[in-house]
Amino acid sequence: MPHWTEKVPDEVGEILIDERQIQKRVAELGGAITRDYQGKNPLLIAVLRGAAIFYADLIRHIDLKLRIDFISVSSYGAATRSCGEVQLLKDVESSIRAVDVILVEDIIDSGLTVDYLLRNLRNRGPASLRTCTFLSKPSRRQVQVQIDYVGFEVPDRFLVGYGLDHNQKYRNLPFIAVLDGV
């Protein structure tokens, strides 16, 4: 396994959340979901691609019979800020009617993408619908959305690592860092 502190790319700046902090918090989130959904079999829907790493770690900390699915949207393209228009690229394959659903995101900043997804999923008649995000940037919120499980609140800086990217790079960093010059 790479020793990232020695091989951090030059453009990656300050590490805001290290690997140890991430793993501890993901375990706590998994424990909270386990407690809240005792006796239920929730469907966890990951928003691709960014949430994939968080999602994989999270579901290993949930001690329930659960199902998984994926959805993919685009609201950024190559930009560093959401353009506000959300395009559905891949829909879930499972029916969610009368199912307890948890939407799992990597980061919620403006709230526009999650708002779109929640409205879309609510129209399908789930028994319940909650959100779990690894990171939240409340200072960027344009649309208020309910977030039921939050890993960390972060400042309004461009972040990479642990699934978050810039032009499809840096997703594999095991920590969250500021991308310098963006």
Which pair of tokens denotes residue 16? 């805001």
Set 109, 115, 148, 180: catalytic member: 109
Tell me the residue ranges of DSSP E strands in the chain. 12-17, 43-48, 67-74, 87-90, 100-108, 128-136, 149-153, 159-160, 176-179
Q: Is 180 among the residues known to form the active site?
A: no
| First and final C-alpha spacing in the chain | 28
Q: Which amino acid would we find at residue 67?
A: R
Report the catalytic residues: 109
